[in-house]
Structure 1
Amino acid sequence: MRTAFNEQSQLILEAPTGAGKSTALPLAMLAWPEINGKIIMLEPRRVAARNVAQFIAKQLGQAVGQDVGYRVRGDTKVSKNTRLEIVTEGILTRMIQHDPELAGVAVIIFDEIHERHLPTDLGFALALEVQQSLRDDLTIIAMSATLSGLPLSNLMPEARQISSQGRSFDVQHHYQPCPAQQPWLMHMAKVINDTVNDASLSEYQLGSVLAFLPGKGEINKLARLLRERLEPTWLICPLYGDLSPAEQDRAIGLTEPGKRKIVLATNVAESSLTIEGITIVIDSGYRREASFNPKTGVTRLGLKRISQASAVQRSGRAGRLAPGYCVRLWSQEEHGRLRKVDEPEISLSELTSMALDCASWGAKTFSELSLLTAPPAIHEQVAWQLLQQLALTDPQRKLTALGRQAYALGCHPRLAHMLLKAKQVASEQSLPQLCVLACILAGIIEARGLPKKGADIHHYLTEALHGQIKQQVRQWQQSLAISGQLQDAISQASTRDISYLLALAYPDRIGKARGQDGFLLSNGTGVVIAADDSLAHEPWLVVADFQETQGRNAGQVYLAARLDERLFDHELSDLVTREVQGGWDEAKGRFFAEKHTKIGQIIIKVDTGIAPQRADITAALLAQVRLKGLTILNRDAALIQLQYRVELARFYASEHDWPCLTDTHLMATLTDWLGPYIEQVNSLAALAKVDAYGLVKNRLSWQQQTLLDQLVPTHWPMATGTRAPIRYQMPLDANGDFYHSEVDQGRAVLSVRLQEALGLAQSPSILHGKMIVTMELLSPAQRPLAVTADLASFWQGPYVEVKKEMRGRYPRHLWPDDPVNTVATKFTKKKTPGL
């Protein structure tokens, strides 16, 4: 590794769990004299960052904060002597934004990069750009337990790749799926109890147990079940991100003599984190996966099966110090069906904060960054739209002055907007407590593990008087340079002030009651609130937190405030829009116009009796066409044939750049080709008389119209002087649009009496011979006798039978024995010269 380090500035290290990537390597690097600067190592989780820093510092016989320190949100232990900093991912992004040259930094290590957290992907992209443009002496090391599905080589094609087998021990796997009809948590409790008491597993029972669960709720439920079943000698230790450092250390560290522990953990224990003494892993196989819904602007939580890669990571925790044992609560067959790797967060997450980072960096799209995976376009679009709505970026996606201040605060852009606008209003109106209240609300919204007091955020204000929320509120007060007592702000807080502040952060989540169906938010989303909640029967709300879950049509409100409607006339008047909408009243058979006063998609008031303007009538007419289709127009056979002819020309003579005239395209472009020509139309009856054929034909230039008549003619000149009509037929798909296939590419059918086709040796062709015309040969009475696209074969075969049958029926007409060498006629034999 050291040799590669001295030869290459980009390294990729693949090593399994327990190989010492997170601890042994950075510890060794501290002794390398060639590293002239600080080492920054990213850990995806705060628990792991603290734990790794403490472990390495202990190996050096030092306290954390000397040679080895850490930075996580809300907790920093570093000094001017710190040479190795363990940081969480977002910290690095801030460091680069603050100092793009990363002065004093020699190495950046991305640990567990395979987990694909959103801040990791962003930090990695920024670090690569810094290395390529400003710091070619900077070394970047990407470390992963597996490179499967990880496109590192795309961004680091010249990187040196190093593999290590590590020092892990064998782990025996046992599959024990949950029986049907039994809750899986009950099954998991039974499996843990059976496993720790199974005499046949004594070789694994000298250590402790690590159980993986999807979240805090399941951990607490399982803890209660286990305490009912197990002896008091067992310590039940939850482990998740919301716990205090002391509680996390209790789960991670060695147990006291005579005790064994069962650690109930989320994904926080999947990698990097070393939990002492684990020899048994019980894996539920579930994870809580957050998936952003761009339609509603919220993240939907769902219980998902883990990937095969995640299962390997989890089971490997049992084999770090000795042979281990892993029970998987699913079948071996199902294991083979699990996805190979987890989806990266950038494909699933809300991207507003990342967009603000992007704008701060000077990029206008995510594609300008060297990202491992491109985000969904709609997710990125929603993020930029929200930033512009909050006035943090301009239409060109450049940071505004407010945006620069928001980025400096380091919280979610929604909350940053609320804090900064509150400070502005507080200053203008001499209301200092308003900004303190904004800090309190932001602290509550960002807090984890709030007690259950209903949905009204007013009930949680006193939570800001202690603990981590108080610490965070004080930090924002310091950042905003505002003073004020929290207790005073809480006691003076009014519903009007609270709802106003929340609306600054969530203008798209103002909700109006809709009877028994909950509330309609201004972004068009439906939400519900518990029937017994104090806010359930309010006419208006502003929602700070709601969640969508699988199997539910509407999101569940968790934090909100009653909204004072008077705000629409004053403080929130900028959110109110007024527009006149016109339409066609089907029942009354007339046009109408209404003035809608709206907040987003919520209609506050409707004013009727307004005389429709010309633009409203035109818009209503076009809306009727969109609703009822082109048949509402004078869409005659000539127009349909024109569409068919142009489509054939587009297929067989595409070099002439023909316009698209399909129904779908015409419907999509109504405003262009129909709108300007119905300015004098005031009724549906008049609309039905519009010359639709002429309007559509004018989509073709004069040269194209002339060329179309040559290539795809409407008639064919016969030797008799007759202009025989050609009708075109096209295959249609399920939507009624044209399509071409090898089997059916459409056809041209020429209808003419058989006697007028005499003398033709072959069927005519069009489109420079690319399409053979199908002949529909008619009797003297204009009834079909035969249809053929091969006239030569018809004369030689089927014609003989037609001649026999028709001679007796039409004796006065010509039925020659040699039709190819007979002159065509449109008369009877008596009137035909030479007969």
Structure 2
Amino acid sequence: MTLLPIHTLIKPIRTAFNQCNQMILEAPTGAGKSTALPLAMLDWDEIDGKILMLEPRRVAARNVAQFIARQRGSALGDEVGYRVRGESKVSANTRLEIVTEGVLTRMIQRDPELTGIALVIFDEIHERHLTTDLGLALALEIQSSFREDLKLLAMSATLAGLPLAKLMPNAAMLSSEGRSFPVEQGYRAAPVQAKWLEHMAKVILEQLAIHSEGSLLAFLPGQGEIHKLHSMLAPRLAADKFSLCPLYGSLPAKAQDIAIAPAAKGIRKVVLATNVAESSLTIEGITQVVDSGYKRQASFNPKTGGTRLSLKRISQASAAQRSGRAGRLMAGFSTRLWSQEEQGRLNQADEPEVVHTDLISMVLDGAYWGVKALNELPLLTLPSPANENVAWQLLASLEMVDTKRAITAHGRAAYELGCQPRLAHMLLTAKELSKQDGNDNLAVLACIIAGTLEARGRSRKGADISHYFAETLASESAKQIRQWINTLKLNCSAGQGLAAVARSAASDDIAMLLAFAYPDRVAKMRGVSGYQLAGGTGVELPSEDALAGQPWLVIADFQETEGRSSGKVYLATPLNEQLFTEQLSGLVDTIEYGGWDDVKGRFFAENQRRIGQILLSKTPIKTLDKQLIKNAIVEQVKLKGLGLLKFDDRTEQLRFRVAIAAKFDTSHDWPALDDAALIASLDEWLSPYLDDVRNIGQLQKLDCYTLLQNIMPWATQQQLERLLPTKWLMATGTHAKIEYDAEHRGRLNVRLQEAFGMQESPKLANGKLVVTMELLSPARRPLALTADLASFWQGPYEHVKKEMKGRYPKHLWPDDPANTQPTKFTKKKTFNSQ
């Protein structure tokens, strides 16, 4: 440990912390920042309190804690311990605690002064996990408000693309060398990209044959690919020579330990891992890496409320981290399954989670902390505005925040349960109903459902969530379920009591509870295998699934996939429609709706019972209300477009002129009159003029020019006339028409003889727009199009004159048009008038 590169910085780090309380440390793979540094800090007298170190991944947190404990010669959980969600090894003697998965943020929320904590270390901050970004933001707030003595250390393998210095401008900056042996880098792109997994299996077998010593680490995007590759390799690798070890986040701890531990004597390990093995984790004996170059990224879709899983290329920084695994212990070999040319086109660094993931838990954290928007926190990267707005709206619908985004008592209770906000709402609601019934079984069932939904790793037994209850109770999730039962103070004996509740759970109760958590995912059958969610989006259930054909479902888990229009249902339960008149009546809205009947050619009005965008029933309203009719017209225009209004040429010209004015004149606030803007603002400019409109014919007679013109104040209308007139006064007294177009051009139409004597085209918009002149024949047929009259007179005019002189001999065709008096008459009339 004393030979690791970080040891050359131990003294500078110690000195720097005696001068300031913030530090940024860049230390590449193998430097020892995650192990040797916190190990040394345990002996620093000036650190008067506990050290917290945040590790983004559970497997790394456990592994690092175990390693440092061994180095100290103490039992895990004594001087050195760890705390991850649902599992902890700490005691009153613990001085170094490795934490992860939002544990730090909850520690801060419970104790904003972090009593007894002297130093917080943020390891692998370059991975940009949501919980890491939030934890750093809250720690900075604490340091600036309550705890100026609190020391903060942000550590990263690379600072490329990481705005840490901007967020922490007064921090000491230190950089360490990495410790890695030479890694021979190769590129083996798949001949057929669609078969990259088969290609990977082939490359792994080749590399194991070429290099007869050392173990191999293969990076794959997800658990599914790991199992597929495992099945390809297992028959072709002798069990007495090779050990195939999967490694991913939801794998049980014992299986993770097997993947990380040294191989048995005479055995070479082949570790099939996700990106959990990228950093802060040394897998014993690895000398070879084969990298697929892929990761699986979950991106939240704010329009549907679902998450889309997509296969994406990793970044250059991630590729470097992966290759470096081969050189941690000795010289190694790395093979990338893409071309060297593609390597140069990869993104420099990974995109932070805060810009593409579901933010509901982070927003509840923010509300609990007291902010009304996440940008009030000192975040490394601002979140997606669309994703954040959806999160606030959902919290409001679950009554966790009020209209001013202040957290409610219900929201506080939900946060303190420590689970996903939707599930927390379900648990608390179930507890209230159980209290009314005098029986806690419903609330216990809610705990079992929540545990099933939060379980890591699940077998495949179809979409019916009840099929997984027994499996959940036999897994690690049972511990979390019992913890919720204790927190909620429910009456249920562990073991047999839980199993009995799960076995006897009524379908209606399961549906009701899931609807509390996912009111926007109540779903009605549509077509053969499709369902429409109350939120509006569509999902599909495999036709062979036991739930297929159920008229109503509550969807607990669905995912969108690139290239598919409908999400795929993973967990659901059948729903009895009768619940909408009983326990779930609160989900039903009754509204008055007016619409247009295309078949009958008239408007109609009806009372509709809806759950979100799903229509339950409707009854006609005999007396039509004016406002309903207006709403129906507006709805029709939104649906079918502005073509219903019959914009004439004058109206279209007004729209073109305003768009051009907005481009060239910033002195006025010009309205947006494009289709999207007008449809978005129909209630402002159209709806007030619909009082007497009863049918489409009357709608099309509206003076839309005046309606759009009235959007602008009088002064703005006058400015438009000055900047972009519709006519131009020629020297002959003719008011020549000017037409504008979508390309921000103006065209003046005039007979060629009336342009004699003009040296240049007119300029509009304070000289910023040169008008294109369409010069016409005496019969008003187009002859030429030019924005440069001087050049036209000197060149193209000669050709026009030769062709037109014989056809129109009575009209002037002078040799020097630029210096000829303009006229709108024939030669005879022109000369007589002179």
- Does the pair score TM above 0.5? yes
Residue 384 of structure 1 aligns to which amino acid in structure 2?
A: W
Corresponding residue number in structure 2 for 1:735: none
Give the deviation of 1:613 after TM superposition. 2.2
Residue 414 of structure 1 aligns to which amino acid in structure 2?
A: R
Contact 1:727/1:748 (8 A) holds in 2: yes
In the TM superposition, 1:776-791 aligns within 5 A as none
Residue 601 of structure 1 aligns to which amino acid in structure 2?
A: Q
Matched, 1:283 2:291: yes
Question: Structure 2 CA distance, aligned partners of 1:284 and 1:69?
Answer: 34
Corresponding residue number in structure 2 for 1:354: 362
Corresponding residue number in structure 1 for 2:4: none
Question: Structure 1 CA distance, aligned partners of 2:206 and 2:770?
Answer: 80
Contact 1:758/1:825 (8 A) holds in 2: no
Q: What are the Cα deviations for residues 673-713 of structure 1, in whole angstroms up to 9, with x where unaligned?
A: 33222311222222333333333443444455556556655
Q: What are the Cα deviations for residues 476-508 of structure 1, in whole angstroms up to 9, with x where unaligned?
A: 001111112213322431011110001111111
In structure 2, the gaps of 5 or more residues are 1-12
Corresponding residue number in structure 2 for 1:736: none
In the TM superposition, 1:243-392 aligns within 5 A as 243-392=251-400
In the TM superposition, 1:634-653 aligns within 5 A as 635-643=647-655
| Residues 1:787 and 1:400: Cα distance change in structure 2 (over 3 Å) | closer
Give the deviation of 1:63 after TM superposition. 0.5
Give the deviation of 1:98 after TM superposition. 1.0
Give the deviation of 1:412 after TM superposition. 0.3
Q: What are the Cα deviations for residues 390-435 of structure 1, in whole angstroms up to 9, with x where unaligned?
A: 1111122111111000100000001100000000111122231100
Corresponding residue number in structure 1 for 2:7: none
Query: In structure 2, which of residues 216, 224, 235 is the aligned counterpart of residue 217 of structure 1?
Result: 224
Task: Tell me how many residue pairs correspond in the alignment.
Answer: 815
Query: In structure 2, which of residues 585, 588, 606 is the aligned counterpart of residue 573 of structure 1?
Result: 585
Contact 2:823/2:830 (8 A) holds in 1: no
Question: Structure 1 CA distance, aligned partners of 2:789 and 2:41?
Answer: 87
Contact 1:89/1:123 (8 A) holds in 2: no
Corresponding residue number in structure 2 for 1:594: 606
Contact 2:60/2:281 (8 A) holds in 1: yes
Query: In structure 1, which of residues 719, 725, 732 is the aligned counterpart of residue 735 of structure 2?
Result: 725
| Residues 1:693 and 1:254: Cα distance change in structure 2 (over 3 Å) | closer
| Residues 1:508 and 1:711: Cα distance change in structure 2 (over 3 Å) | closer
Say which is worse superposed, 92-101 or 328-337, in terms of deviation.
Answer: 328-337
Give the deviation of 1:298 after TM superposition. 2.3
Corresponding residue number in structure 1 for 2:39: 27
Corresponding residue number in structure 2 for 1:694: 706
Question: Structure 2 CA distance, aligned partners of 1:818 and 1:224?
Answer: 87
Q: What are the Cα deviations for residues 201-234 of structure 1, in whole angstroms up to 9, with x where unaligned?
A: 34xx1x4333333333333343444442314243
Question: Structure 2 CA distance, aligned partners of 1:763 and 1:2?
Answer: 75
In the TM superposition, 1:72-91 aligns within 5 A as 72-91=84-103
Give the deviation of 1:26 after TM superposition. 0.6
Question: Structure 2 CA distance, aligned partners of 1:325 and 1:785?
Answer: 73
Q: What are the Cα deviations for residues 22-73 of structure 1, in whole angstroms up to 9, with x where unaligned?
A: 1111111111111111111111112211211111111111111221111111
Corresponding residue number in structure 1 for 2:556: 544
In the TM superposition, 1:93-242 aligns within 5 A as 93-180=105-192, 183-198=195-210, 201-202=211-212, 205=213, 207-228=214-235, 229-242=237-250
SS of equivalent to 2:82: strand
Give the deviation of 1:512 after TM superposition. 1.0
Question: Structure 2 CA distance, aligned partners of 1:89 and 1:235?
Answer: 30
Question: Structure 2 CA distance, aligned partners of 1:787 and 1:173?
Answer: 62
Corresponding residue number in structure 1 for 2:566: 554
| Residues 1:370 and 1:597: Cα distance change in structure 2 (over 3 Å) | same
| Residues 1:707 and 1:794: Cα distance change in structure 2 (over 3 Å) | same
SS of equivalent to 1:467: coil
Say which is worse superposed, 679-688 or 130-139, in terms of deviation.
Answer: 679-688
Matched, 1:679 2:686: no
SS of equivalent to 2:246: strand
Say which is worse superposed, 602-611 or 83-92, in terms of deviation.
Answer: 602-611
Question: Structure 2 CA distance, aligned partners of 1:280 and 1:817?
Answer: 84
Say which is worse superposed, 146-155 or 432-441, in terms of deviation.
Answer: 146-155
Question: Structure 1 CA distance, aligned partners of 2:338 and 2:794?
Answer: 73
Contact 2:326/2:334 (8 A) holds in 1: yes
Residue 226 of structure 2 aligns to which amino acid in structure 1?
A: I
| Residues 1:636 and 1:497: Cα distance change in structure 2 (over 3 Å) | closer
Matched, 1:396 2:422: no
Question: Structure 2 CA distance, aligned partners of 1:449 and 1:804?
Answer: 84
Give the deviation of 1:608 after TM superposition. 4.2
Q: TM-score, normalised by structure 2?
A: 0.88
Contact 1:644/1:728 (8 A) holds in 2: no
Contact 2:455/2:472 (8 A) holds in 1: no
Contact 1:9/1:137 (8 A) holds in 2: yes
Question: Structure 2 CA distance, aligned partners of 1:573 and 1:532?
Answer: 32
Question: Structure 2 CA distance, aligned partners of 1:613 and 1:591?
Answer: 11
Corresponding residue number in structure 2 for 1:513: 525
Question: Structure 2 CA distance, aligned partners of 1:619 and 1:557?
Answer: 35
Contact 1:513/1:539 (8 A) holds in 2: yes
Question: Structure 2 CA distance, aligned partners of 1:814 and 1:280?
Answer: 86
Identity %: 55
Say which is worse superposed, 565-574 or 825-834, in terms of deviation.
Answer: 825-834
Question: Structure 2 CA distance, aligned partners of 1:644 and 1:359?
Answer: 46
Question: Structure 2 CA distance, aligned partners of 1:540 and 1:804?
Answer: 77
SS of equivalent to 2:159: coil
Matched, 1:746 2:751: no
Structure with max Cα Rg: 1
Question: Structure 1 CA distance, aligned partners of 2:579 and 2:308?
Answer: 30
Give the deviation of 1:345 after TM superposition. 1.8
Give the deviation of 1:558 after TM superposition. 1.9
Question: Structure 2 CA distance, aligned partners of 1:196 and 1:161?
Answer: 42
Say which is worse superposed, 365-374 or 482-491, in terms of deviation.
Answer: 482-491
Contact 1:816/1:822 (8 A) holds in 2: no
Question: Structure 1 CA distance, aligned partners of 2:663 and 2:614?
Answer: 47
Q: What are the Cα deviations for residues 156-207 of structure 1, in whole angstroms up to 9, with x where unaligned?
A: 1222222222332212233344454895444444444443343xx34xx1x4
Residue 318 of structure 1 aligns to which amino acid in structure 2?
A: A
Q: What are the Cα deviations for residues 261-293 of structure 1, in whole angstroms up to 9, with x where unaligned?
A: 333322222211222232233333333322222
In the TM superposition, 1:396-415 aligns within 5 A as 396-415=404-423
Question: Structure 2 CA distance, aligned partners of 1:15 and 1:604?
Answer: 60
Residue 498 of structure 2 aligns to which amino acid in structure 1?
A: L
SS of equivalent to 1:96: helix
Corresponding residue number in structure 2 for 1:529: 541
SS of equivalent to 1:337: coil
SS of equivalent to 2:528: helix
Question: Structure 1 CA distance, aligned partners of 2:817 and 2:315?
Answer: 78
CA RMSD of aligned residues (A): 3.6
Contact 2:133/2:379 (8 A) holds in 1: yes
Contact 2:790/2:818 (8 A) holds in 1: no
SS of equivalent to 2:18: helix
Q: TM-score, normalised by structure 1?
A: 0.88
Question: Structure 2 CA distance, aligned partners of 1:28 and 1:714?
Answer: 80
| Residues 1:538 and 1:6: Cα distance change in structure 2 (over 3 Å) | same
Residue 425 of structure 2 aligns to which amino acid in structure 1?
A: H
Give the deviation of 1:519 after TM superposition. 1.4
In the TM superposition, 1:408-557 aligns within 5 A as 408-484=416-492, 485-557=497-569
Corresponding residue number in structure 2 for 1:62: 74
Residue 574 of structure 1 aligns to which amino acid in structure 2?
A: G
Question: Structure 2 CA distance, aligned partners of 1:232 and 1:669?
Answer: 72
